[in-house]
Amino acid sequence: MQEELNITAAVISLLSITLMVMGSLCITMALSKGVEFLLKPASCFFMISGIMVLISLEVFRHSVRWLIGSDQSVPLEYEYSWSVACAVAAGAVLIFGGGCFLLLSLPGLPKKPWQCCDRSTATSSA
């Protein structure tokens, strides 16, 4: 049981990293080559990756609880380290970033919203 939980957490983490790389490639292509249709797949990749990070942490938590509960002879107290908080924050940032990229890919928004704030670009195009 313990090995299966550890392997499951590792596989989910590797899939999550793969989705992050795919999302980063889509964003790089969208920004450098101007292919805006890649924003939607990138947002999906990032949101699914964030969800998978959080699922991986939950599997890890179950694995730790099972390990501590399996040996009743030694009472142990434990607390999670700062790295778990960083992983939760990373999952939340991935989900938030995916949502932001999904908003950027909506058809009602301007194609390059960062140019709306630049006065020199706005005045030269008018």
CA 11 to chain CA centroid, Å, is 15
Q: Which domains does the chain have, with CATH numbers?
A: 2-125 (1.20.140.150)
Indicate the pTM of the whole model.
Answer: 0.75
Task: Give pLDDT, residue 116.
Answer: 60
Structure tokens, 55 = 């699922």
Tokens linked to 108 = 């009602």
pLDDT at 2: 67
Tokens in use for 29? 């292509």
- Angle between the 39-70 and 2-33 helix axes, to the nearest 10 degrees? 160
Contact 111, 36 (CB under 8 A): yes
Cα separations in angstroms, 106 against 29, 36, 82, 100, 117: 18, 10, 37, 10, 19
Contact between residue 38 and residue 30 where contact means Cβ atoms under 8 Å apart: yes
Backbone conformation region of residue 11, classed left if phi is above 0, alpha if psi is from -120 to 50, else beta: alpha
pLDDT in tens, the chain (126 residues): 667 877 888 899 999 999 999 999 998 998 888 787 888 899 999 999 999 999 999 988 888 788 777 776 666 677 778 888 999 999 999 999 999 888 888 876 555 655 566 656 545 555
Distance CA 99, CA 48 (A): 11
What's the pLDDT score for residue 66?
80
